[in-house]
Structure 1
Amino acid sequence: MTARLLAILRAVSFVALALGLCGIVFEFAGYSAPEMFHSIADGAFTSPNALMKSLRWALPLVITAAGVLVCFRCGYFNVGAQGQFYLGAIGAATAVELLNGAPALVVVPVAMLAGMLAGALWAAWPGILRLRYGTDEVITTLMGNFMAGLLLVYVTSGPLKDPSGTGQVTASRPVASAYRIATSVGVSPTVIVLSLLVLVLVWLLVNRTAYGVLSSLAGRNAVMIAWQGARLSRLGLSAFLISGALAGLAGSIELLGPNGRLVSGFLPGHGFTAILIALVAGLSVAGAAIVSLFFGGLAAASLYLPVIAGLPAAAIDVINAAIALFITARSWLLPDFIKRRLPARRTQS
């Protein structure tokens, strides 16, 4: 517990450093740092309905981040959450299109299952290449993101194209209101319950099952696990499938919830933000829930930055990049005497 608390405190300190650095950069760029922080706080926490706006972005993020951390804990750096998210949305949209007219009690669960299956399959092929041929999963999953983005453009301008569209933006037909699980606000009892259910199940998986223990040990010392007779290929492929399925679930929720249709290139930073959440949370499920709310607040605050601080909404991307820089570079930012006290975490090469 103490080690976990120290990890969270370290992550919080690096996030604070990143925010401070961004404040200095924006101040030198001619913007007001105090107004920037005020707009972030106002958009994320203090404005009317701020919590609802933060939850709108946090709920799908925490589902994807939960899947990402399962793969990371097993020692595989799956950076393909964005592509798996897109495939989940495509799978759900296809199911809705094929079952159009059926009862909602049939269509909604089937669409979510289709999204999870599509996301899992999109994560499976990089996993198989990694486990069978030693292919670098960072490269293959990153390539998968671009391929999924192109596939999204294809289906929204071809098989699933909305014939009544203007042509300015390629999109699918709107999901019928009977099949929607949330309005454009993005927060509903169904979405909240699904998010909490995912968090509970993933927490139980990584903390209370033999699979969770073995996969975490594999991420630290794969050779030792192999000596114990565990099948690393089975552990690794399961991690990829779980990660992809949860990203696909988030994509199906986005389709059936706030988005209501497929749009080419929607939420382009979702998967990468989920990866950042998993890293900031120290691969902790409970930490991911808290960090997701923070990043959801940052996304909500992007609407306030141009109004209050005069900053473009893309400033949130700069802040996210600064946080990613500090989190990933913490190994050389920490003094040597502190690093010697931190538990080493090795991943399988």
Structure 2
Amino acid sequence: MTDRIVSVLRAIVFIGIGLALCGVIFEIAGYSAPLMFRSIADGAFLRNGALAHALRWGLPLFITAVGVAISFRAGYFNIGAQGQFYIGAIAAAFVAEWLNGWPALIVIPACFVAGMTGGALWALWPGLLRLKSGADEVITTLMGNFLASLVLVYVTSGPLKDPSGSGQQASSRPLDAAYRISTSYGLSPTIIVIAVLVGVLMWLLVNRTAFGVLAGLAGRNPTMVEWQGARIWRIGLASFLISGALAGLAGTIELMGPNGRLAGGFLPGHGFTAILIALVAGLSVTGTAFVALFFGGLASAALFLPVMAGLPAAAI
């Protein structure tokens, strides 16, 4: 526990140093660093409604980051959260399209099941390659990200295409309002409840189950775990599936909540930001919640910096 706290504090210090360097760079470029930091604080947490916007961005990141932490704790570096996020959203979009006109009480749960299943299956094949043939999961999951992005472009410009869109900016047809779990504002009690349930369940899984203990040990000393009679491949496979399912869940939330449709540029940095959050949090479920909220605040502030601090959008 002490080592984990030290790791988190070290990461916070590095983030602070990074922000300070950004301030120096912007001062040299002719912008006001104090105004920039004040705008970040206001846009992230201090202005009216800022916390809700931070939660809007932070909760889906938290869900994906917790899944990343599960696989990393077990010693498997699943870098494919972005692809699993995409495939989960795509699977949910197809189910919503196929069941269009059905009652929301059927369609919404079906979309969540499809999204989590899609994300888990997209994590399954790199997991099997790693466990059965020793293929490097970093390479295979990165490949999965690129493949998923191509699938997203195909789907939004083909089977689910909205006639008003075209090319790389094509998007899917908007979801029926009855199937949305939040408005374009982004936050709703449903999303909060889902994130809390995920956090509680993953904390219990990590800290109160044999799987959680063995996964943590396997990440540090797999030989010792094998000596105790546990099957490493089962732990690895479960960690890949959980990680992919949670990324797919986050993709489904974004589809059925704030976005309401798929698009060719559907949150392209979500997965890698989630990986960063998990690492900064020291792979702790509790720490991930706080770090995700912090990054959600930064994402919220980034939308206001061009207006509040006069920074060019390309620099944010």
Give the TM-score category using the shorter length.
Answer: over 0.9
Equivalent residue, structure 1, for 2:158: 158
Q: Per-residue deviation at 1:65?
A: 0.4
- The 8 Å contact of residues 88 and 117 in structure 1, kept in 2 or not, is answered as yes
Q: Summarize deviations over 1:290-347 as a string: whole Å, max 9, x none.
A: 000100011011122111222233444xxxxxxxxxxxxxxxxxxxxxxxxxxxxxxx
Matches within 5 A, 1:84-95: 84-95=84-95
Alpha-carbon distance in structure 1 between the residues aligned to 2:150 and 2:314 = 23
CA contact (8 A) 2:88 2:252 kept: yes
Amino-acid identity (%): 69
Measure the CA separation in 1 of the matches of 2:248 and 2:236: 18
| Structure 1: unaligned runs, 5 residues or longer | 317-349
For residues 3 and 155 of structure 1, do their structure 2 counterparts lie closer, same or farther at Cα, with a shift above 3 Å needed?
Answer: same
Deviation at 1:4, TM superposition (A): 3.4
Matched, 1:64 2:40: no
Aligned amino acid, residue 167 of structure 1? S
Q: Name the counterpart of 1:340.
A: none
State whether residues 42 and 304 of structure 1, in contact with CA within 8 Å, keep that contact through their aligned partners in structure 2. no
Q: Deviations over 1:84-129 (max 9, x none)?
A: 0000100000110111111111000000000000000000111111
Letter in 2 for 1:33: A
Partner in structure 2 of residue 263 of structure 1: 263
Give the corresponding residue for 1:342. none
How many correspondences in the alignment?
315
Residue 302 (structure 2) aligns with: 302
Give the match's secondary structure for 1:218.
helix
Q: CA–CA distance in 2 between the matches of 1:91 and 1:100?
A: 14
Per mean C-alpha deviation after superposition, the further-off stretch among 166-175 and 85-94 is 166-175
* AA partner of residue 13 (structure 2): S
8 Å CA contact retained: 1:277, 1:291: yes
8 Å CA contact 2:77–2:138 kept in 1: the answer is yes
TM-score, length-normalised on structure 1? Answer: 0.88
Instruction: Give the aligned partner of residue 170 of structure 1.
Output: 170
Alignment check: 8 A CA contact 1:39 1:308 kept: yes
Deviation at 1:239, TM superposition (A): 0.4
Q: CA deviation at 1:166?
A: 4.0
Q: Which residue of structure 2 lines up, in the alignment, with residue 73 of structure 1?
A: 73
CA RMSD between the two structures:
1.2
CA offsets, 1:47-106, max 9 Å, x none?
121011111100110000010000000001111000000001000001101111111110
User: Deviation at 1:266?
Assistant: 1.1
Q: Partner of 2:253 in structure 1?
A: 253
Aligned residue in 2 for 1:114: 114
